[in-house]
Structure formats: C-alpha cells, structure tokens
Amino acid sequence: MSKSIKVRDLLKEPAFKRVSGDEESLEREVFVPELNRPGFELAGFFKHTDFRRIILFGEKEIAFVEEMSKESQLACFSKLANDETPCIIIAKGYECPEILRNIANKRNFPIFETKQATGRVSIDLTGTLDEALASETLMHGVFLNIYGKGVVIRGDSGIGKSEIALELIKRGHLLIADDAIELYHIGPGIVGKAPEVLKNLLEIRGIGVIDVSKMFGVSSILPKDNVEMIIQLERWLPSREYTRIGVEEDDVTEDILTVAIPKIVVPVTGGRSMSAIIEAAVMNMQLKNSGFDSSKEFVNRVLNNIKNKVS
C-alpha cells in the first residue's frame, strides 16, 4: 500500500493560512512528493497533468491569472480543484483569485495562503514529502558514523557486532542504531536510523542492554545518517579466498532500495582487532573517493621494480 500524509499534518498555521475548505477537507492525502507549478494548465493544456500533486501558485502564476478572462479562469480552476488534487497553495503573500476561491468553497476544497517565498515553500515541502513518503525497509546490523561516514556492520548472530560497536564508540565514533536499522530512500541516497524503541541502546551479551547516551554522553550518538558503506563480517574459513591486495575483483556493492552501496567482506578470527580493521576500511574508502587507491599504488610499485631490474 502506498504511503501518504494528510494535508492537515503537512500544512499548519501560522506558516499556512487556510482560506477555503473545512476540517474534513484537510483529510485529503498526499501520495507523491513532487509539487505542480501550473504553467501549461493555466494555458489550458492538461494532457499529462498529475493531479496527485500539490499545486503551488507563485508570482508568475498569479500574474498569468490576472491576464486570463473570467471564462478561462472558470474552466481552468474547475479542473485544478478536483477530488484528486490534495490542495492549492498561494505563496509570496498573494491572495487567492476570487473565482478559484468560489469554486473551492462550493467543493469544500482546501486552499492555503502563505507569505513565504515560492522557492522556499517548494524546497521545504518537497524535502518534507520526500522523507514522509520515502520507501523503506528494515535491516539487521549495527549502524555507526565512523570518521564522518555512515557504516553498517552486518554479520551472523553472535559474531560480535555489538561488541565491535562498543569498542568503536569508545574510540570516539558515533552510534546510530543497534540490532535493527530503519532504512529510507530519500533523494539519491539511503538514510538510516534506529527504531524508536531501540534508540541510543546497545545490547552486549553477558551484560545486557546499555544506554550509550547515558554511559558515554550525548556526543556519542546520532539520530540518523546516510548509509555510505556496508561491512559484512564473516567467520574465517580456510577454504575461502579473501581479498589480500585489493585488486582481485571489481568493487562489490549491495542494493538497498535500488541504491548501490559499497560493500566489503571482512573475515573474523581470534586475535584480530576488528575495530582497528573497520577504521582502516573506512579510511581506505575515503582515500579511494579522493582519487588514491593503495592497492593500485602497490601494483604500480611492483611493476616498476620489475621493470627496473629487467633494464
């Protein structure tokens, strides 16, 4: 079922003043995050109009309406103020055109006026709708901010994810979620946060649940972050080949809500400092993003050394 948000929960006073429609009209639902600036519609072209979008009038639209005949306004506004359109917003302090207001009152259609600039209304509402209507999923693992990067640590139950997270928090990194991570496709990326019931909590086997914000201070947690890397922890198997130099295979990614996230697999064995290894993995990714690849640099050194010996 598609996610939605009601008009009453989206547009609130004092920023938005309702000029038509009663309380029942505010029960209309918004299903898409995009807004509609009705340029072609005011000119009478409705062929590809998506009436599920909130309609936003700014200075140009109001100026165009003032040049329209009463007959043209009546025909246009009768189509815009329909049962499918969530509402209409008149921005930048302009008043709702009289013909549009009359149609809205007859149909119990909600119209709002605001003094905010048209661009600001568009940016704020699009951002709010994008987050409220974002597709989502749930992932098991630990989510931390390590050196400014959102890193999801995954692995089988009992492999030590929470213990590694505790060590990383002690080293100054920030906890976002433990055990369950709510993931949302917002804009071009993935945003993750903890479910409300698990916020700030970390489960350590043998100790129980600890409140990280109380134990290490509020500076040790983040409410949410962008997912930029996945580290998959696996128990070491002698029969499996693991990455050693870093050029053995192409970059590995994992799709989360259709977004490809960089991923590395790290074997877990006794005696390895996993927190230090994870820190090194994040720093290495940052170096790659800045244009420096340690693996390729090593290969180049080997090739140059061979070349010098041959010559």
Asked whether the beta carbons of 133 and 5 are under 8 A apart, the reply is yes
Cis peptide before 188 (omega within 30 of 0): no
Asked whether the beta carbons of 185 and 135 are under 8 A apart, the reply is yes
**Taking the alpha carbons of 234, 236, 237, 239 in that order, is the dihedral positive or negative?**
positive
Annotated catalytic residue, options 47, 48, 70, 244: 244
Please list, in sequence order, all residues whose beta carbon lies within 8 angstroms of the beta carbon of residue 184, skipping any fewer than 6 positions away.
131, 134, 135, 136, 190, 191, 192, 193, 257
Is 173 among the catalytic positions? Answer: no
Is 251 among the catalytic positions? Answer: no
**Dihedral of the alpha carbons of 59, 65, 67, 69, in degrees to the nearest 10:** -170
Annotated catalytic residue, options 3, 106, 140, 171: 140
Annotated catalytic residue, options 53, 161, 173, 193: 161
Q: How far apart are CA 177 and CA 44, in angstroms?
A: 51
Is 12 among the catalytic positions? Answer: no
Annotated catalytic residue, options 28, 53, 154, 179: 179
Total number of residues shown for the chain: 311
Is 17 among the catalytic positions? Answer: no
Q: Which residues are catalytic?
A: 140, 161, 179, 244
